[in-house]
Amino acid sequence: MASGEESSAALRASLLSSLLALDPSCAQTLDDRVLELYLLRTAEMRRRRARETIARARRMRHYLRRRKRVVVSALAGVLGLVKSFGIREMWTKYRPVEGGDFWQAAQRCSDEEWKDHFHVTRATFSHLLQLLEPTITRKKTQCRIPIDARRRLAIALWWYAQNEEYRLISERFGVGITTVCIIMRQVTTAIVNSLYEEFLSLPKAEKLEAAVKAFKDQGYPQCAGAIGTTHIPIVGPRENPQDYMNSSGWYSIILQAVVDHNLMFTHVYAGWPGSNSNATVLSSSDLFLNMEDQLIFPSEKSVELGGGVQVPVHLIGDCSFPLKRWLLTGYNLEDRLSPEQRRFTHALNAARAVVPVAFTRLKGRWGCLEKRNEIEVTAMPAMVTACCILHNVCEYLGDEFLPEWIEDSDAFVQPEVQQCQAADYGGAEAIRHAMTYSFRDVYQKPTSIDGFPITYDD
């Protein structure tokens, strides 16, 4: 290694001496000084280049900061100018409606036209808006002005009542099609989350006593409500469509509901595929689990009849439901029955007539439940529950149901009732027998309920 360096130094000295015509010994000394000067100069150039690079980066950062401040100031000025002149935001697309803006015209329509549009009175609409406004209102930002809560609620109620396509609702209310879909989901969620506990619960305390008294006055004692089901039409889903095909030949989901004497829903359970039986739906519901554990109606409300039989406060249903201590059904009228058994069955069926009347009002007011719609099957349970809550709000406020809302259509005929074959394991037959022969003077046969006629199959 050392010999290599010496030979390199000697080579440089000889080349320098030949160029400058110097003595080789002088050339060796001069070569060392030149090399040292070269290295010093090179190091100085590198330090200067590094300083220049750092200074250039600093100047670039200062330039970008100044440019950003200028752009932000210009943008703020433009937005202030746009806002001061009342110009619509760039991203908003105005969608005019043929014949004028429907929503603006609806503000000036008569009370009859308003109810024809939304199937609720202005007073009911205002009450709903007061309850839901904190939840469905969106914040105003510098970039956009959100759709106000009043229009959001109107869009949802219009779809519930009219079951119109999103495209037509978009043109009618001057919003985007995607916006209509988003608003529907947001309002539906708000109704279920905000109003469920207040307007949809099984009767307790004073309400329970009022319900039992009302059913007794109608001819059936110890009853807190009647249970029933109805099928809601849907578009056949892609996954397992055969599960949703009911016995009438169309796709549906099942709504199970408990109805009180005021035609209001006190419990709903929706979403099961239409091919299932009523007994299957009931056994999977939270109502079944709570009733089996005796967590709802207090035992002190029971009445002791002859033979020491305790008759609890219970629900009533048709023959498609199993006979339980908390759920009594009538006898099969096709069998040979005693006069007492036939009278009991007629009284139970008359009290249970609140169920079809409530379902008729529900579907008549909210047409989205009467006709097939394009909503995904996974979103149907929330939508059905929201409609039941809105039904209760209307009934609670005394919002009149109009008979012309009822459509006579054979498109979706409800499946026939299939008798449940489940055996009685809880002494329910003894309770039904005691009621049959102990309340003979109480049972009556009403001919109508809330204007709807009741027929009997003798």
Distance CA(160)–CA(384), nearest Å, equals 10
- Is residue 96 in a domain? no
Q: Does 393 lie in the same domain as 246?
A: yes
pLDDT at 37: 81
Q: Does 434 lie in the same domain as 326?
A: yes
Q: Does 439 lie in the same domain as 325?
A: yes
* Closest by CA position to 6, among listed 387, 48, 378, 14: 14
Domain range for 16 is 2-81
3-state secondary structure of 217: helix
Q: Does 217 lie in the same domain as 278?
A: yes
pLDDT at 335: 83
Q: Does 157 lie in the same domain as 58?
A: no
> What residue ranges of the chain have pLDDT lower than 70?
1-31, 82-100, 142-143, 409, 423-425, 440-458
Distance CA(316)–CA(358), nearest Å, equals 15
What size, in residues, is the chain?
458
The string of DSSP codes covering 110-130 is -HHHHHHHHSS-HHHHHHHHH
Instruction: Select from 81, 110, 126 the last residue of a domain.
Output: 81
- Beta bridge mates, 257: 228, 268
* Closest by CA position to 320, among listed 456, 223, 228: 228
Q: Does 383 lie in the same domain as 243?
A: yes
- Is residue 89 in a domain? no
pLDDT at 24: 54
Using the CB atoms, write b or e for 68-105: b if 16+ within 10 Å: eeeeeeeeeeeeeeeeeeeeeeeeeeeeebeeeebbee
pLDDT at 439: 73
Instruction: Select from 30, 51, 81 the last residue of a domain.
Output: 81
The tokens describing 363, both together, are 């579907």
- Is residue 60 in a domain? yes
Inter-residue contact 427 to 390 (CB < 8 Å): no
Q: Does 211 lie in the same domain as 194?
A: no
Q: Does 141 lie in the same domain as 46?
A: no
Q: Does 300 lie in the same domain as 221?
A: yes
Q: Does 48 lie in the same domain as 155?
A: no
Helix axes 339-351, 428-438, angle to 10 degrees: 100
Inter-residue contact 253 to 377 (CB < 8 Å): yes
Residue type, 187: V
Neighbours of 271 (CB within 10 A): 17
- Is residue 365 in a domain? yes
3-state secondary structure of 408: coil
- Is residue 137 in a domain? yes
Q: Which residue has the tokens 């160029």?
A: 19
Q: Does 273 lie in the same domain as 155?
A: no
pLDDT at 28: 57
Instruction: Select from 34, 52, 81 the last residue of a domain.
Output: 81
- Is residue 416 in a domain? yes
pLDDT at 456: 46
pLDDT at 198: 93
Q: Does 311 lie in the same domain as 241?
A: yes
Neighbours of 107 (CB within 10 A): 10
- Is residue 86 in a domain? no
Structural domains in the chain (count): 3
pLDDT at 327: 94
DSSP label of 309: -
pLDDT at 70: 87
- Is residue 94 in a domain? no
3-state secondary structure of 256: strand
Q: Which helix (H) or strand (E) holds 257?
A: strand 252-259
pLDDT at 10: 60
